[in-house]
Amino acid sequence: MSGGEEPTTAWGASLTTEALSPRLRSRVVALASQGLGRVPLVHVPAALRKSVSFAPSKRAKLVGGQIAASLDGDDEFREHLAMQVRAMVPSLAGLLDAGSPPDVPESLAEMGALAFIVRTDGWESVVKEAIDDEVQRHTASGGDLQDTVDRLEAALVAARSEAKAVRDKLRAQVEELKSDNATLRRTLGQTRSELRQVQEAAASADSVIADLRREGEIAQRAAAAEARRLRARVKRLESQTTSARRAVRDDRDAETMRLRLLLDTVMDSAAGLRRELALPPSDMLPADSVRAVEPGVDPGVAGVGRSLLGDDPMLLRRLLELPRAHLIIDGYNVSKSAWPTAPLEEQRNRLASKVAALVAGKRIETTIVFDGAELKHPPVISPPRGVRVLFSPPGVIADDTIRQLVFVEPEGRPLVVVSTDREVAESVTKMGARSVSSQALVAAMGV
């Protein structure tokens, strides 16, 4: 660097980043971008504050023009930036302060960029020397540049020729594709036309099918309604016929049953009376013809259980000895008296087995009636032989079923009803039956 030359004051005053060579200007912006990240934020111009967080290379690329403008127009910012740049390249700053040339000639551009930012004494000459060095380098490399330009122009011609060939080939392919595209468009148009015709035919067929389906559904509903009406009528007629047949058969069977039962009862009663009234052979003596007063008869044995209480098991046993007797038991009334804590199923089974053992071999018709008024389906039970177990129908209590059993019996048949219900006892007594309390049956069963 020739330190004896002093730049003119006018040239130095007008020296801005715009006056620098492109290479030197880029070096100034790159060096300033590196130092900008170190400048306190309060001293950074508002336009550059957002770029402080950028990387130096990204900052120089995005806001390099604004950094250059701030160096030209904001001396305060440039001075703060100069302090940071000095700290970044202390050796190069020391050479600049001493007025010594750089160790490497290629560093003259770096020295010029540093001098433009720091602006020590004589900085204008340093910048001018860097510019002159760059011009000399550019002039010296002119021949090489011409060879490079010639080589690049030849490559450009070859590339253009190759590009033209490729372009012609692609143009031929494009024409072929256009021809294929036109053919495909025509085919597509024909296909769309045919598809439209098919769709219209399908829509017409769907409409016809829908009309036929509606007509079929209407006819089907009408036929179904007529079939339901006929089935309901047939079912009603069958029900009426079945009910009439059942009523006739039930009446005939009930009447036959009553007559046969009454006949059996009369025959058994007559046989019993015949046995009881049979007179012994006559053994009259003369003394027997003498009129006298005989001892009185004990009134406790006159009549069947006439002097016995309703809860006496002896009364029940005597009543059961009557021929063709029918024993009707109020089921839960007896079972809850005998086994109050046992489950209902166990009560029913115990009562049925005990009663079966009591009437075994005595030819006594026995019926146990349980309350089923609140049952949808009667419980499953296997009654012992010779014992009939019934549940009252839904909505009907057992008391009414017992009264119905007494009502259907023929007049004159011995009927024994076991229940502690006063209303049941009074009602069956009025109908001709004999009432016995549940305690009598419990005692007779040996519970």
Successive 10-residue mean pLDDT values, the chain, 447 residues: 39 68 85 86 86 86 86 86 85 78 68 83 82 74 61 77 86 90 90 91 90 90 90 88 83 81 78 58 46 34 50 85 91 93 92 92 91 83 89 91 93 91 92 91 88
pTM for this entry:
0.38
Residue 353 confidence (pLDDT): 93
The pLDDT of residue 276 is 59
Q: Which residues pair with 435 in a beta bridge?
A: 417
DSSP 305: S
Nearest-angstrom CA–CA distance, 282 and 248: 55
The DSSP line for 185-211 is HHHHHHHHHHHHHHHHHHHHHHHHHHH
Architecture of domain 309-445: 3-Layer(aba) Sandwich (3.40)
- What per-residue confidence (pLDDT) applies to 140? 63
Q: What pLDDT does residue 14 have? A: 55
User: Cα angle vertex 384, ends 382, 390, to 5°?
Assistant: 65
Q: Read out DSSP for 98-151?
A: HTPPPSSGGGHHHHHHHHHHH--TTHHHHHHHHHHHHHHHHHHTHHHHHHHHHH
Q: How far is CA 202 from the centre of its chain?
A: 41
Query: Which DSSP helix (H) or strand (E) runs through 314?
Result: helix 313-320
Report the number of secondary-structure helices (H) and strands (E) in the chain. Answer: 14, 5
Residue with tokens 């053994």: 283
Continuous segment of H or E residues that includes residue 367: strand 365-370
- Residue 291: predicted pLDDT: 40
Q: What is the pLDDT of residue 303?
A: 38
- Residue 269 has what pLDDT? 76
Give the model's pLDDT for residue 42.
Answer: 86
Q: Given the structure tokens 């010029």, which residue do they identify?
A: 112
How large is the C-alpha radius of gyration of the chain? 67
Q: Read out DSSP for 318-332?
A: HHHTSTT-EEEEEHH
Other residues' Cβ atoms within 10 Å of the Cβ of residue 31:
23
Nearest in space to 38 (alpha carbons), one of 92, 81, 93: 81
Collapsing DSSP states into helix, strand and coil, what is residue 341? coil
